[in-house]
DNA sequence: TAGGCCATCTGGTCCT
DNA sequence: AGGACCAGATGGCCTA
């Protein structure tokens, strides 16, 4: 089963479980006593906090559920943004969905690579392209998900993560992006 | 089985 | 007052 599919299944299951918490089903936590996914744990202590307040427990419970709903929505938005970010990063094998942290680090290093490409093109307009196109000249140093600071100060081979090495980046792509962007093309992952 | 990743809940804090 | 944001906690699923 692919990573993507697995996550979708997991999300669906989570959503199913969530229904047992849904006010729409008139089954508050208090009644169900939790499910197989007792997030937050320590029931019924949490129920007590959620619904057992001295000041109108029912109202408090409604507020809490609304807040949970907003938080869920906020996190979904955040994940959507991360997905969008993944989609504009260079192509990866279909199954190799980057984790959140990998996506952020990869994006930062990718931006660094693009910036570097621009600098080289500015200072060595005639040689930049050929240099950058040679595999390993620049790509191996920053294509990984090592921490950002290392990107700017120089990354050692040891700092390249194993996960990244398995990605096997194409021979240097950023120059292609740069050239395409010069022509006003909207470069996306699918256009590689 | 341990560890990584994830979704969710929760209470606190800040802002409008 | 209510919403947004955040970090900690928790439990499920998956892989090595």
- Tens digits of residue pLDDT in A126-137: 655 554 443 333
CA-to-C1' distance for A68 and C1, Å? Answer: 17
* Helices A174-182 and A100-123: angle between axes, nearest 10 degrees: 60
Query: Looking at the predicted structure, is the pLDDT value of residue A164 above 70?
Result: no
Mean pLDDT for the stretch of residues A122-145: 49
Cβ-count burial of A151 within 10 angstroms (0-12 exposed, 13-18 middle, 19+ buried)?
buried
A25 CB contact with strand C at below 7 Å: no
Q: Using an 8 Å Cβ cutoff, are A30 and A18 in contact?
A: no
Segment A25-42, tens digit of pLDDT: 222 333 332 333 333 333
pTM over 0.85: no
Other beta carbons within 10 angstroms of residue A105's beta carbon come to: 21
Segment A81-109, tens digit of pLDDT: 888 888 888 866 655 788 888 888 888 88
A75 CB contact with strand B at below 7 Å: yes
């Amino acid at each position: 089963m692919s990573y993507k599919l697995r996550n979708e299944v997991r999300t669906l299951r989570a959503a199913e479980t969530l229904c047992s918490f849904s006010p729409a089903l008139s089954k508050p936590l208090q009644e169900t006593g939790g499910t197989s996914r007792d997030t937050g744990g320590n029931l019924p202590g949490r129920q007590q906090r959620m619904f057992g307040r001295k000041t109108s427990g029912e109202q408090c419970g409604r507020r809490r559920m609304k807040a949970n709903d907003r938080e869920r929505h906020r996190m979904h938005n955040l994940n959507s943004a991360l997905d969008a970010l993944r989609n504009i990063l260079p192509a990866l094998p279909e199954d190799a969905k980057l984790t959140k942290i990998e996506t952020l680090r990869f994006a930062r290093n990718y931006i660094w690579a693009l910036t570097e490409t621009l600098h080289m093109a500015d200072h060595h307009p005639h040689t930049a392209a050929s240099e950058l196109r040679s595999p390993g000249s620049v790509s191996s140093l920053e294509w990984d998900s090592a921490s950002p600071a290392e990107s700017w100060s120089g990354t050692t081979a040891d700092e390249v993560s194993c996960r990244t090495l398995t990605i096997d980046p194409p021979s240097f792509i950023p120059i292609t992006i740069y050239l395409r962007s010069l022509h006003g093309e909207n470069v996306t992952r699918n256009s590689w």
